Amino acid sequence: MPSFDIVSKMKWHEVDNALNQAQKELAQRFDFKDTGTELEKNDTGIVIRSSSEDRANAALTVFQEKVIRRKVSLKFFDVQDPTKTAKGGALILIKVKEGIESEPAREIVAAIKEAKLKVQGQIQEAQVRVTGKNRDDLQKAMQLVRGLDLDLELSFVNFRD
């Protein structure tokens, strides 16, 4: 029985490359000289530290430009509000959203059922598997899911006949 999976996975190697490019640009630019601006990837996401809130926002813009150039969607990133640090600087945390959480997954499954296509959607951990009897119905389901207004970057993988 044909099936495919709907996932929300980021290309981490592209994000790492964009992060390295942004760090190099910040190190070379004159307007960032002696501001202590740095980008760092850790367990919670990506952290931008700088001596002022304006410099931190400018560094965020540089990082976003590099990510867009590498064809990674900004929907994967949840940018938090800048917070003050102890030394009067600013810190911006960028949380990474990966995987489909339960609420958007339920919306996807409900939309597939509502469309009365001859396919079934089921939630499996951080992805949604769609199965059907023929390939045309699966392609209609893909078009339906692409048309949904979700705040997620979705991709279709593991297509099997």
Domains of the chain from N-terminus onward:
3-8+100-160 (3.30.70.860), 12-96 (3.30.70.990)
% of the chain at pLDDT higher than 90:
23
Task: State the Cα–Cα distance between residues 37 and 51, nearest whole angstrom.
Answer: 7
Q: Of 109, 103, 57, which Cα lies nearest the Cα of 83?
A: 57
How many angstroms separate the most distant Cα atoms in the chain? 62
Strands (E), 51-126: 77-79, 83-84, 90-96, 119-124
**What tokens appear for 129 in the block?**
């598997």
Q: Which helix (H) or strand (E) holds 147?
A: helix 135-147
Q: What amino acid is encoded at 153 in this protein?
A: E
Task: State the Cα–Cα distance between residues 93 and 43, nearest whole angstrom.
Answer: 11
pLDDT digits (tens, 9 = 90+) for 60-79: 999 999 999 999 888 889 99
pLDDT at 1 over 90: no
Residue 133: per-residue pLDDT? 87
pLDDT digits (tens, 9 = 90+) for 34-69: 888 889 998 888 999 998 888 889 999 999 999 999
